[in-house]
Structures are given as C-alpha cells and as structure tokens.
Chain A
C-alpha cells in the first residue's frame, strides 16, 4: 500500500534528475567508444580468418586499447548505485518530507521498498538500453548475428550486473539512513567503494606475502606459488567487485573454465588455442560461478535487509 505511488514518484525523480542524465551520458559515451574501438580491432584481427564461435561475446570481453566493456561496468557500475541512493532518506529527513510521508496511511516499509525498487528499475533500464545500443553497434561492426546462446549469456550477465549494482544501491541507502548529513553519507559511500575496489586487492597481496612469502628460493617451487596465489585470491573474494569480476568473466566467456587461471594469453594466442577447445555450455558456466553468484545475491539482500531493519526501528521526528 502506497508503494506504487512512491515507486512512481521516485522513478520520475531519477529520470528527471541531472545526476542521472550526466551518469547516463557518461556511461553511454564510454561504452560506445569502447565498443567501437574493440569492434574495429576485432574486425582487423579476424580479417581473412574463419570467424570463431562466440565472436559476438568478444565484443564485451576484449580489452581493446583501453579496457573491455565488462571491466568498465565492473568499475563504474558501483558508482551508479551509489549516486542513485546516497541521499535517498536523509534528503527527505532534512527537507521535512519524511515525517509527512510517515504520517500518511502507508506502511513504513513501503517508503524504503519503493525507493530501493525504483533505484533497481532505473539501473535495469539504464543497463538494458546500453547493452542493446552496444549490441546494435557491434552487429554493424563485426557483421555477425549473435546465436541464441550468446543472447542468453548476455542476458544472464545483465541480471548479475543489476544485482551487483543493486548491492551498491543498498549500501548507499543504508548510509543515507545512518547518517543525517548528505555530504557525510556521500563521502562514506565513496570511501566504501574505494576500499573494496582498490584496497582489498592490495591487502590480499600483503596477506599472501605474509603467509607464503615468495623470495628467490621459493619462486622455483610451484607449490609455494600456488599457495601464494590461492591465498591472494581468497582474500580478494572479500570484495564484491572481485566476486562480480570472476562470475561475469566466466558467464560472458564460454572458453573460460575456471576463475583461477594463472596463464596469461594474448588475443591471437587465445583465438588459436580456442580452436582446439570445446566451450562450456551455459549451465556449466553457471555451475562454475554458482558460489560467486549466490554470494553476490546474498550480500545484496543482506545489505538491503539491514537498511530495512535500521529504518523500521528509527524514530521519525520532524526537525
């Protein structure tokens, strides 16, 4: 009850806000440029060669001169969630509209549910439209129609990305409940984002170095190297960004069979080796990253659930 009215209003607010327009323009621009460069590169590389299977997905995974589209969304996606949510509750509180909302005949949870769902809807519309535009551009560039399996993989990638960005949306809504100041919650969300994006992977190296130090003598020992890498990988899985990176890499690239491959290959090398390998089916790909996916979905719900709990117990007073 009341959730529909709040959802509609919030959605309208999102789509008419400058921050949304700026974010959307930025993302659309970067994705188009990235796809264009990747597409041109692929076209050049594949000239005269038989088209490999799943060439369409390479549009998303090839790094090109800058970064791949998947990497860009992994890095920039959290920012969408944070920007959409960091002032959702405390702005209403400071404008005095929160106590008015709460005095209307609606359940209190419809306020926070409506806000969260409208954010998720905004993210979904944003990502879907960008993926469609990018696919269209890719079609004209490479001239290959994606197979049904490729479409499914892109769809699953879209769903995972929506969950991932919704996790960050949940974090920012939580901070907007916890902190009264809008600037404080904005800074806090940014700090969390930076911590998980950069410092967890750094910390992972530090921990791995401390537990299994690699020096002159041990670098020859494969056991030690494996141990080092394993610790580093496990620690960095504490970061939702790592979880997301690992799972989308597998989903979008059928040739990848494990999240923990040590071998680095160039594009041409990969192309030639892949001709002799069988790709994973979708269900197998999902199976490989199932623990990642479940964790990602779980932390999204935990984060939102915690904001829900805090919000329901907070006293709403006019100021």
Chain B
C-alpha cells in the first residue's frame, strides 16, 4: 500500500565550500506517515530539513514539499509546514500564551480565533498551570512541549521535528513521543522526525531513513532494514549495529 508522497527529493545536495553536508539525497515521505530520519550528529539531517523549508538553497538537485518548490515558493511551503528546530527558541521574557499568540499572528490567524486554539493547545500539552510563567523559567521538557503547542496552533499538514527528545529525561521523552503520536493520529499531520536515537524513533516511526556523512544509506520500514542489513528478523537492533555494518561496507 504505497501512499502518495508529500515530501520528495531528488539528488538533493548541499556543500559549503569543499565540505559536502548533504550528498545526492533521494527519498520521499508519504502522506500521513511518521518518517524517522536517523543519523549521527553532523550527518546532514538539519541541513536537509532547512533545504526542505527553503531556509537554505540546495547546491544541486531538487526538493518538493506538497508539490511546492521550497526554494521558489518558500512562503507556500512555510504555510503548511510546522518546524520545531533543535534547541527551539522562545522569547524568554514573554509567557507561553504571548509566545503562542505571536506565532499565531505571524501565521495571519486573527486573535479571536487563536485565543481559543491557544488555550486548547496549552491544555493538551499540559502547560495550563505554568502559563503565567515567563518562558525563560521553563525546563527543557516544558519548552519542547510548548513547541508541540506551536504545531497544534498552526495545524500544518506536515511537521518537521528536529531532535525533539534531545536532552530530555526518560519521562519527558515519553511525553513528547506520545504527543507526536497523537499529532499523527488525531490531527493526521505527516511527521518527519529527525533523531540520532533509534530507540525513540522505532517506537513510532512507520518508516526510517538512515543518513551517514550526508548520504542516505538506507530507507524503509525498520523490519526490512534489519533483515537486509543485518539479517535479523526482530526490531531489537540498535543503530550502532547499522552504523558498524555501513562502515564495514564502506571500508571493503
């Protein structure tokens, strides 16, 4: 059952001078799925997301997000994509409600509409109690949940989440994973989730792509990858095994 692709890239490459950050990337993300984008730090995941958002121009190749070209139609892409960057930033001297209201205004949502949405979003990510606090006083987990609230307000068709569980304790991680799952199930938002931690991603991802040194080395459902790369059946593989396998392949 192959669904329609909502994100598509072909030969997408980005180099900074001589250094190649993303090398000949071809993959797709299908409508409604959770795509786990895996790879070690510095493998080019963030650069890829930036190219998909039109914040960085590719050196070669092309990308399409919902049939828009991110380089030429950046505004149209940004209208339907919610993006949570790694280390998401908020205005620390404003409270959660003010931060969300600002985002709603930037998205051209009238205050009368957004104020209801904001209360609902804060309720569902469990920040209702802390809403009067300045965001500067928030913990890392709370900031990530506020990021999820931002997605809820924007109601995009796709969400790019860059390392949403980075630096969270196990409980915080579980909460974020649950929220992501409900974004996908209840709001039917397609999710492109980048992480270096396979354990988190394998809980929710429908398909994964593994990126190493700017190249996509494997794409597909985890079971198939495990079988193809390692010859094992179960889901209990670790990313380290896949890396090891890949580096062995490269060296021979």
* Residues on A facing B (Cβ under 8 Å): 1-2, 4-6, 8-9, 92, 95-107, 315-319
Contact = CB atoms under 8 A, between A and B. Distances in A.
Interface in B94-111: 102-103, 105-108
A106 B106 CA distance: 7
Contacts of B79: 105
Contact of A101 (B86, B88, B106): B106
Given A96-B89, A100-B85, 20 more contacts: A1-B108, A2-B106, A5-B105, A95-B91, A97-B89, A97-B91, A98-B89, A99-B55, A99-B89, A103-B81, A105-B106, A105-B108, A107-B75, A317-B46, A317-B50, A317-B56, A318-B46, A318-B89, A318-B162, A319-B87
Contact of A97 (B75, B90, B162): B90
B55 to A, nearest CB: 6
Nearest to A106: B106
Nearest to A96: B89
Contacts of B53: 103
A316 to B, nearest CB: 6
B22 to A, nearest CB: 13
A102 B89 CA distance: 12
A103 B87 contact: no
A23 B86 CA distance: 36
A105 B55 contact: no
Interface string B43-87: 000100010010110000000000000000001101101010111
A124 to B, nearest CB: 23
A97 B102 CA distance: 12
A318 B108 contact: no
A318 B107 contact: no
B92 interface: yes
A103 B162 CA distance: 13
Contacts of A319: 87
9 contacts: A95-B91, A96-B87, A96-B89, A100-B85, A100-B103, A103-B81, A104-B107, A107-B75, A318-B46
Interface residues of B, number: 26
A118 B85 CA distance: 27
A100 B107 contact: no
A318 B106 contact: no
Nearest to B81: A103
Contacts of B108: 1-2, 105
Contacts of B81: 103
A186 B152 CA distance: 38
B78 A105 contact: yes
Contacts of B55: 99, 102-103, 315-317
Contacts of B78: 103-106
A20 to B, nearest CB: 13
Contacts of B75: 1, 105-107
B147 to A, nearest CB: 9
B167 to A, nearest CB: 14
Nearest to B106: A104
